[in-house]
Amino acid sequence: MKKAIVSILIGLGCLLVLFGGLVAYAIYKSKTVDQIVAVDVLVSSEWTEITPSSSMKADRQIQAVVFIIDGYRHNVSDNKWQIKLLDETVVKPEVQIFDENGNVYDLHDSGRSNNDINFTPESSAEFPEDRSYTKIRIRSDKSFKVSKVIWRNRNLK
């Protein structure tokens, strides 16, 4: 009788651990994962190449290269695709990403998430999941500073 109770308790404990692991995995897979790729990047008319310390993978439904610019605030009355800095300078950066096979993907300004500026390919299908992304290049006809460049992976769930 005592052995049966111990066996039942051990079995319930194992089920609880398994269930907890599944819940933790589901939460992990559903959240947004931001990988900081670079900080304090000066963008100029020359290409600035950024190589992350660890590879960037497309392991969620949607990916984007995100710029955070100190002092930038998206104003809904501005042109939707305009990046206007504090000094009223308007910048239009060119952004590219490279995969491990040397393929280059041109990214475009695809919108705002709060005050984050998102850059994505024309189609998310252009970020195949079977490879790593190894480098980001940025340039702009007007110089400006990006305080953080982020590789963002997120699910829509």
Beta bridge partners of 153: 33, 63
For the chain, what percent of residues have pLDDT higher than 90? Answer: 48
pLDDT of 26 higher than 60: no
pLDDT in tens, 86-138: 888 899 999 999 999 999 999 999 888 778 999 998 865 568 888 899 999 99
Please report, in angstroms and rounded to a whole number, the separation of the first and last CA atoms in the chain.
47
Domain ranges of the chain: 1-30, 34-154
Residue 102: enclosing H or E segment and its boundaries?
none
Write the class of the CATH domain 34-154: mainly beta
**Residue pointed to by tokens 């009788």:** 1
- Give the residue-averaged pLDDT of 133-153: 95
Which tokens hold the place of 64? 């984007």
Q: How confident is the model at residue 24 (pLDDT cuts 50, 70, 90)?
A: very low
pTM, 2 dp: 0.77
With the C-alpha atoms ordered 142, 143, 144, 146, is the resulting torsion angle positive or negative?
positive
**pLDDT recorded at residue 15:** 66
- Of 52-61, 65-74, 136-145, 148-157, give the range with the top mean pLDDT: 136-145
